[in-house]
Structure 1
């Protein structure tokens, strides 16, 4: 079935009503509160510990910078599907019920570009008014992550890096050097074999757990050589991505050839059930996860065993690309109120300021998007006391700026294709060549279908 860029306005309107009811919003709120403050609404995706950190940062803004500038921010938790809710509002042209600022994942940037309500961060910098965070102070990897055709579309906020997590006690137990974790996929396969424990034919301890999906594959494709693109038009950043290029350039086949070594160990768990909990229970010795999970893993493991993080193992030892920036950014929207636009700009910059970044990042494990953070004594102390976090920071800063997740506007469909085929390959139900062909052809079919429907 072809993707459609628009849906009927009636359906979109109905969805909007449902959305607003669920969020507890009203459509008649004034932009000015009784005390004269300009009110803006901020949608975010953070829950649990991260949600508490998010609310704390917003409250601090309201009590300090917001109070000084006559701004009050109302934060609204929207679950994981902020981008989908924004699409619904945009399709219904329901500007009134847009938030002023929204936290969206990088994959949501291509969709946001189509919204007439979007305010590009690049345009705000070009206006040169009320600038409190200089663009040159923003981390170049994070800027590239949320830029399209060399324009910064959304403000970097919470970014992460993909890492190898490993059980140091388990390494020592099987004769692996806990201070020298695997640096390549081939070395990771060798470690898997040593970590494997079986009771007859039943595996009781795996060497590695990771479900290879779009996010993981984008890093192993992007990190090859000096850097490598996932698809054409620089992976969708120089123009619409209409095809994957990892088939024609051989990078997917190269990755799968190395990954075959992991599969062949019989010590690889190819699906993720409860990866955080299972790692903390010692059900496998290694896992590939985002740096944003460091705090969660630390809490779950406690003092049960020693663990550490390491850079993502390379496809080839000679690769220098590094890894892509993961995470989210801040999109601003114009609802026709200039005072709200100005307030949104001040708030958005605050979230990218050293003060807010230190508070949020040290509470969550996300990485700084503002390079001035590293000059602050609090962050320097935090990094000294948290070496697992420092590994992620160093990996991000040492990566090539062109190693990025793609701007593939149908990312969820490509993710499903990659996940399903890699699960079959990992389980031994599908050979390498079939897996390679399937991923390339199925991804390109979906991209071509979208391009035909949307120009």
Structure 2
């Protein structure tokens, strides 16, 4: 794990007004929750909807160390905006779930405190999965508790593979393989397109990390405020050229920016034979492939049941370094009474206990963050009986921690994300050349980095 230099002094003496100035660097939508904080209860804000949200509510409210209230706040962007509003009002919730992409912006508010300060002396920090917790350690402190974390894997339709004359037990391992398999799927008529995935920065970050390539300077922002994006490299040129040619040759189906549901629908209805998606989608994808479609996005009549396969995320190179994590972590308020701090520490220990982590993993698809929980699942035969979950864990545990595999730690995360996604769209749609698009991307990202630094240090 690389040394971490100081990243917390950006806003010395920061006020709530400054925090809201940083919120302006984010953009985003209005929150779905009411944003109210009740001082008489332990407030827990999260961004989990559906069954995972209900499970989390039950886990939080089942904690007997305090009167706890768990509240859904909407999307990751919604909950971040709600948090900034709460900071301005002096009513930050006790615990709040924040997308890992926004870690630096939360640190820069100076409204939180390291969770390590609230955990008991006997809390087994060394049992936390290192490939997960490494990203959340800054200045030697565990600033937030990893909780609903995932990585990206490959899903494929084994029936379509057989129809296309491909080995259904051999998913693609590299981007070159993805093209070859996509050509076979389309040319055979097994599917209309080879592959799809949402146009989301996380997938770009994963390709960079697998190739051990930094996407930003200052070791992806972990040793200082980044100022440069590495978009003018041979690696970047080759990656986006591959993507553009896949689109031009009708091998990649473009579902749109952050179009998770559209990509998943295309895969389950047989429009494409391969999709890239989160490990947290294992359960819904498996049930969908079996014909049990949950939600209003897909008509069950459009789904022909098929055998699902999973594989490691395809690498741009023959060598694989590792994948970046996704998902979110739990942050705690820096302004609490001693009694509330003790209650919050107890809640975090409760949620990350072995039993709770096993229940969370099996009920949500996110992987447990405790090695002991993983060992117990293995000894119980869980992964043997559920091999698609094993795909995610094997990939995670085989990942090496380097500066490139630590997800970018950057203040204007949302604007950097949108810039990369929007300019990628311009590239593979043919609106600009690869070189021109990457140059635009580099300039726009660096402008956002400079703007954020200027606001943060005003």
| Bin for the TM-score computed over the shorter chain | 0.7 to 0.9
Question: Contact 1:185–1:262 (CA<8 Å) still a contact in 2?
Answer: no
Question: Contact 2:128–2:369 (CA<8 Å) still a contact in 1?
Answer: yes
Question: Residue by residue, what CA displacement relative to the aligned partner does 1:146-177 show, whole Å, maximum 9, x if unpaired?
Answer: 12234321011111010111111001101111
* Larger Rg computed on CA atoms: 1
**Mapping for residues 339-378 of structure 1, pairs under 5 Å:** 339-377=339-377
Counterpart pick for 2:72 among 67, 77, 80:
77
Question: Contact 1:157–1:329 (CA<8 Å) still a contact in 2?
Answer: yes
**Mapping for residues 275-314 of structure 1, pairs under 5 Å:** 275-303=263-291, 304-314=305-315
Task: Tell me how far apart the structure 1 counterparts of residues 33 and 243 of structure 2 sit (CA, whole Å).
Answer: 44
Task: Give 2:4's aligned residue.
Answer: none
Task: Give 1:251's aligned residue.
Answer: 235
Task: Give 2:207's aligned residue.
Answer: 220
TM-score using structure 2 length: 0.84
Residue 285 (structure 1) shift: 0.6
Give the CA RMSD over aligned residues: 2.8
TM-score using structure 1 length: 0.84
Question: Contact 2:195–2:272 (CA<8 Å) still a contact in 1?
Answer: yes
Is 2:30 the counterpart of 1:25?
no
Task: Give 1:334's aligned residue.
Answer: 334
More moved, 170-179 vs 368-377: 368-377
5+ residue gaps in structure 2? Answer: 1-10, 25-29, 292-304
Question: Contact 1:165–1:287 (CA<8 Å) still a contact in 2?
Answer: yes
Residue 309 (structure 1) shift: 1.3
Task: Tell me how far apart the structure 2 counterparts of residues 145 and 284 of structure 1 sit (CA, whole Å).
Answer: 34
Is 2:253 the counterpart of 1:269?
yes
More moved, 263-272 vs 381-390: 263-272
For residue 288 of structure 1, give the secondary structure of its aligned residue in structure 2.
strand
5+ residue gaps in structure 1? Answer: 31-38
For residue 311 of structure 2, give the secondary structure of its aligned residue in structure 1.
strand
Task: Tell me how far apart the structure 1 counterparts of residues 197 and 99 of structure 2 sit (CA, whole Å).
Answer: 21
Task: Tell me how far apart the structure 1 counterparts of residues 123 and 399 of structure 2 sit (CA, whole Å).
Answer: 24
Task: Give 1:184's aligned residue.
Answer: 174
Counterpart pick for 1:418 among 409, 416, 420:
420
Task: Give 1:162's aligned residue.
Answer: 152
Say how many residue pairs are matched: 416
Task: Give 1:133's aligned residue.
Answer: 123
Task: Tell me how far apart the structure 2 counterparts of residues 213 and 21 of structure 1 sit (CA, whole Å).
Answer: 22
Question: Contact 1:148–1:238 (CA<8 Å) still a contact in 2?
Answer: no
Residue 209 (structure 1) shift: 1.0
Residue 20 (structure 1) shift: 10
Question: Contact 1:262–1:268 (CA<8 Å) still a contact in 2?
Answer: yes
**Mapping for residues 4-83 of structure 1, pairs under 5 Å:** 23=34, 25=36, 29-30=39-40, 39-60=41-62, 62=63, 66=64, 70-80=65-75, 81-83=78-80
Task: Give 1:241's aligned residue.
Answer: 226
Residue 299 (structure 1) shift: 2.4
Residue 264 (structure 1) shift: 4.6
Question: Contact 1:195–1:285 (CA<8 Å) still a contact in 2?
Answer: yes
Question: Contact 2:160–2:273 (CA<8 Å) still a contact in 1?
Answer: yes
Task: Give 2:399's aligned residue.
Answer: 399
Counterpart pick for 1:112 among 92, 106, 111:
106
Given the superposition, is the C-alpha separation of residues 205 and 399 from structure 1 closer, same or farther in structure 2, using an over 3 Å criterion?
A: same
Given the superposition, is the C-alpha separation of residues 150 and 315 from structure 1 closer, same or farther in structure 2, using an over 3 Å criterion?
A: farther
